[in-house]
Structure 1
Amino acid sequence: MTGSAPYDFVIAGGGTAGWMCAAALARFTPPGTRIALVESEAIGTVGVGEATIPQIHHFNGALGLGEADFLRETKGTFKLGISFDGWLREGASYMHAFGNVGRPLGLLPFQHFWLRAQKLGLAKPLQRYSLNELAARTMRMHRGKTAGGHEMPYAYHFDAALYAATLRRFAETRGVERIEGIIEHVALDGESGDIAALRLGGQREVAGRFFFDCTGFRALLIGEALGTGFDDWSNYLPCDRAVAVPCASGGDFTPFTRSIAGKSGWQWRIPLQHRIGNGLVYSSTHLSDDEASATLLGGLDGEPQGNPRPIRFTTGRRAEHWRGNCLALGLAAGFMEPLESTSIHLVQSAISRFLAVMPAHGEAAPAVRDWFNHQAAFEWERIRDFLVLHYTANQREGEPFWDHVRHMPLPDTLIAKLELWREAGFIHREHEELFTEVGWFQVLAGQGVEARGYNPMADALPEADLRAMLEQTETALVEQVKPMPRHLDFLQGYIGGARVGEAA
């Protein structure tokens, strides 16, 4: 027996998900709470989640992590958005940039004025009205408000393994006990059916009141032991494999992630201080593993640092993320490809949701679990819809993979969103779904989904005033970007002059 009494919380598995959970519990649970994390050095992690969205500021800030130190420790860089290259058609590119696009006027958001201006031949591409995209495309970076008073939200690229190591130090310093060992069996309570203990090699047992499953795709606790079902979304997102490899630094030091569409999937490019993270997500029905590796290696900006690492997955989520006294996090909860950098955020949001209703003594009422699972299902399904939009709204005709995803069945929730946009240029953000109206606007416009109409209140603005509004918005944003330092210079100065672009 490891420990004389059950732990209050036992985390099965490490990696980013496990140590995020451990760090949050160590920070926010009452003094005296006993927390253990069980992992084995012999078991690797997927560890390719190197891009984030701005919500990570909330998590790091809540822990009290200093940003400059965090960037140094994780070899991090700044991220202003994601560039989607070739997703509409070969040679086309647009960006889902963080922050506002244009500005609202009166009761109407900017998209209605832009749609009207499109019909009049006055509108320029959306990037001309986005501060973040103008900065990103010119490789510039800025923190906080600009001289014009505009916010420039940002996220990070970082080494996921180094982030997990940072969180591990944070958690262990605050009393989390790390237990080395491979989980050989999950023992259930004979009466309740809840998890009682994790049995490790050498007759060791780790008993607990509440368990977190961070065991990756295997989902040893929530799936194998508790038998929780899995909702397969392959009919909506048919990519089922990836290969990943880092390479030496080269090319542009972009303050944005690149997502580059290929004939049977897409390739990511994520610049870190010491290397570039690369991967190819693809459908095994349309591309062989050997072809995928060759394609990935042929599109690198520098020498590969190792051989491409294969990853096999099924897109979808657990039917219940919280069952009994077990909550699944990370890959144990489900998987959606990293197209919009949501993997780490889904861990973060699940932890935050759990802390909001954290049960005493590991015992939660069914109503609490039901609320949690309903919220998780809603969040995952709306993110799924956003990812599906990128695929289905393509014009890459004559390519079997892209022809397939263009004609695949769509979730009813996405169909409803598309109909609202096409009929009236209207975008509705339901409850607390992750992606904002502005995010949907950028992808709908970037993927060429035409809106047949717009709110007629936009016609109340005289055409000359509409033209002036667009010109003034563009001019003001360009002027705010001009004095910004380049991303590389800004990063080096911010983290204390560290040399960026060289191997650690």
Structure 2
Amino acid sequence: MNRKVKRVVVVGGGTAGWLSAAVIKKVIGNAVEVELVESDAIGTVGVGEATIPPIRLINNVLGLDEAEFLRETNATIKLAIKFENWRVKDEGYFHTFGAPGQSYAFCHFHHFLKRAQMELGETSNIWDYDLNYLAAKDNKFAKINSKDPIVDLPYAYHFDAGLYAQYLRKLSEKMGVVRTEGKITDVTQHPDSGFIDLLHLEDGREIQGDLFIDCSGFRGLLIQQKLNTGYEDWSHWLPCDRAIAIPSERLEHTLPYTRSIAHTAGWQWRIPLQHRNGNGHVYCSNYMSDDEALQILSGNLDTKPLADPNFIKFKTGRRRKQWNKNVIAVGLSSGFLEPLESTSIHLIQTAVVRLLHTFPHDGIKPELVAEYNKQSQIEFEQVRDFIILHYIANERDDSQFWRDMRTMPIPDSLRHKIELFKEDGRLFRENNDLFLEPSWLQVMMGQGIQPSDYHPMANNMSPEKLQMMLQTLKKIKEEPLQQLPSHDQFLKQFCGR
């Protein structure tokens, strides 16, 4: 079936639906009609509140004014995630968006630091050379206008996902996206190809499309319920299958980072917004009851709750195909990875960007579908491995959950990466991995995985020059801190609040 794609129908709203509609309409414009079908009677999960730096790229593509965006979504700045109790109880480390030290050709900074630690008695760690970490722990932020990458301060946002979806809806409708209110009661497929032809609404209306974007959440209305695409279950690696979310009053001081706090059978998120805090507890129902999980979360809120708890069930994994016939799954309909590294909204973004690269203007061809699905699978598996790393490399002995996570079999791809790093600190980025070498470095070291040696190129510097280099870099990283305002001062000045 090779008819030209002139009508794109997005099924479902929320962040996934409205981001898909907005980006497609903005980039492709009048070459396609875009219609979004959603029902006010069907709610969205709406707890994805933390992002990673590529969100700024998609906001720029959409032409969003950053100050307006921050105001409209009650957003704050995110420089890092702080992981607490993950390796052992009462210990923490940061995974920042920055990079420690300075990049060197063919040899990363951490090799030089490792040599200094082994041979010169150096006591500093990689985070002492990371401006994102230094700013985060001092609760500071401002945009640094410098072309020098050494003082780059990469950032993302925390925002209210519901407000972000509303903001994107206004933008989308202004660009010409048609919103249709209604509940889908039936779906008609082409008798020969099996492609989706029509959506039937409760009031009798019919909606025709050439390409359908399934943003219907865990239900997977088109991709699963109609096309029976199948699901690859990863719960043997990531067994957490429940979450409880509770908003609470905002803190007096707004931290510029997410907190991830490990508990006896899972972990808790704390996300600071301008108007409230986002809180949640991700846990495994095989080790903990819902009542126990709620008690832990309720007992670990910094501020007074603002709503009743929202209980969410999920199964970690991915659709066997993100693109099946003329349906592309985006968001929760495509799969689910717990939000430990704030990848949920990013996976929406990359799915839409991937679609733009493979957009079937002249008809849906097997080669395009296969390439889209190959890239989707690689991305999901890479994010999966990075999340597993946090669990497998723990030294906790206070609960059966953590003992079991430490001894479980892991994917060969992750085992290979860990073994390479343990040998002499080598890290390699494969297939455009979302997480760059500094991310793997910080989590490996934060979780207690240390290389036994370093790259021999680090020996090309004399001991005196090595010490001088470390002292100079530390000074360069610390200098901007004196000029940075507090995070709250920045928000007030930049957003006019």
Query: TM-score surpassing 0.5?
Result: yes
Alignment partner, residue 286 of structure 2: 285
Q: 2:442, 2:469 → 1: CA distance? A: 19
Alignment partner, residue 273 of structure 1: 274
Alignment partner, residue 10 of structure 2: 11
SS at match of 1:306: coil
Shift of 1:43: 0.6
> What are the residue-to-residue correspondences of 1:355-374 with 2, within 5 Å?
355-360=356-361, 363-374=363-374
> What are the residue-to-residue correspondences of 1:334-483 with 2, within 5 Å?
334-360=335-361, 363-483=363-483
For residues 352-406 of structure 1, the C-alpha deviation after alignment (integer angstroms, 9 at most, x for no partner) is 1111121126x21101000000000001100100000011001112311111111
Q: 1:267, 1:434 → 2: CA distance? A: 23
The letter of the residue matching 1:108 is C
For the aligned residue pairs, the C-alpha RMSD in angstroms reads: 1.4
> What are the residue-to-residue correspondences of 1:37-52 with 2, within 5 Å?
37-52=36-51
**480-489 or 457-466, larger mean C-alpha shift:** 457-466
Q: 1:312, 1:171 → 2: CA distance? A: 31
SS at match of 2:378: helix
> What are the residue-to-residue correspondences of 1:102-501 with 2, within 5 Å?
102-120=101-119, 121-145=121-145, 150-250=151-251, 252-360=253-361, 363-496=363-496, 498=497
Q: 2:274, 2:416 → 1: CA distance? A: 42
Q: 2:239, 2:482 → 1: CA distance? A: 42
Alignment partner, residue 79 of structure 1: 78
Contact 2:15 2:162 in 1 (8 A): yes
The letter of the residue matching 1:41 is D
Q: 2:102, 2:147 → 1: CA distance? A: 17
Q: 2:252, 2:415 → 1: CA distance? A: 39
Alignment partner, residue 92 of structure 2: 93
Q: 1:333, 1:354 → 2: CA distance? A: 13
SS at match of 1:187: strand
Q: 2:343, 2:447 → 1: CA distance? A: 20
Shift of 1:321: 0.2
Q: 1:94, 1:464 → 2: CA distance? A: 30
Shift of 1:148: 6.7
For residues 95-147 of structure 1, the C-alpha deviation after alignment (integer angstroms, 9 at most, x for no partner) is 11012211134531112112222323304122211000100000000213359
Unaligned runs of 5+ in 2: none
Q: 2:147, 2:212 → 1: CA distance? A: 49
Contact 2:254 2:274 in 1 (8 A): no
For residues 420-464 of structure 1, the C-alpha deviation after alignment (integer angstroms, 9 at most, x for no partner) is 101121001002110001110011111110211211221232222
The letter of the residue matching 1:37 is L
Contact 2:390 2:447 in 1 (8 A): yes
Aligned residues: 491
Q: 1:302, 1:348 → 2: CA distance? A: 32
Contact 2:110 2:126 in 1 (8 A): no
Contact 2:6 2:31 in 1 (8 A): no
Contact 1:83 1:95 in 2 (8 A): yes
SS at match of 1:439: helix
Q: 1:204, 1:147 → 2: CA distance? A: 55
Q: 1:453, 1:238 → 2: CA distance? A: 34
SS at match of 2:224: helix
For residues 296-351 of structure 1, the C-alpha deviation after alignment (integer angstroms, 9 at most, x for no partner) is 11111111011111000000000100011110000000000111000111111110
For residues 188-241 of structure 1, the C-alpha deviation after alignment (integer angstroms, 9 at most, x for no partner) is 110110111111102221111110000000101001101101010001111000
SS at match of 1:225: coil
Contact 1:77 1:255 in 2 (8 A): yes
- Sort the Cα spacing of 1:173 and 1:296 in 2 relative to 1 into closer, same or farther, 3 A: same
SS at match of 1:220: coil
Contact 1:251 1:301 in 2 (8 A): no
SS at match of 2:35: strand
Shift of 1:12: 0.5
- Sort the Cα spacing of 1:138 and 1:76 in 2 relative to 1 into closer, same or farther, 3 A: same
Q: Which runs of 4+ in 1 moved over 6 A?
A: none
**247-256 or 441-450, larger mean C-alpha shift:** 247-256
Contact 1:146 1:480 in 2 (8 A): no
Unaligned runs of 5+ in 1: 1-5, 499-504
- Per the normalisation by structure 1, the TM-score is 0.95
Contact 1:246 1:276 in 2 (8 A): yes
Contact 2:235 2:317 in 1 (8 A): yes
- Sort the Cα spacing of 1:32 and 1:359 in 2 relative to 1 into closer, same or farther, 3 A: closer
Contact 1:244 1:309 in 2 (8 A): yes
- Sort the Cα spacing of 1:106 and 1:172 in 2 relative to 1 into closer, same or farther, 3 A: closer
Q: 1:39, 1:289 → 2: CA distance? A: 31
**17-26 or 467-476, larger mean C-alpha shift:** 467-476
Q: 1:304, 1:7 → 2: CA distance? A: 47
- Per the normalisation by structure 2, the TM-score is 0.96
- Sort the Cα spacing of 1:393 and 1:181 in 2 relative to 1 into closer, same or farther, 3 A: same
For residues 465-496 of structure 1, the C-alpha deviation after alignment (integer angstroms, 9 at most, x for no partner) is 22222222112211221220000001110001
Contact 1:123 1:470 in 2 (8 A): no
Contact 1:86 1:260 in 2 (8 A): yes
Q: 2:180, 2:103 → 1: CA distance? A: 54
Q: 1:32, 1:253 → 2: CA distance? A: 44
Shift of 1:88: 1.1
The letter of the residue matching 2:10 is I
Q: 1:245, 1:146 → 2: CA distance? A: 39
Q: 1:359, 1:352 → 2: CA distance? A: 13
The letter of the residue matching 2:68 is D
SS at match of 2:209: strand
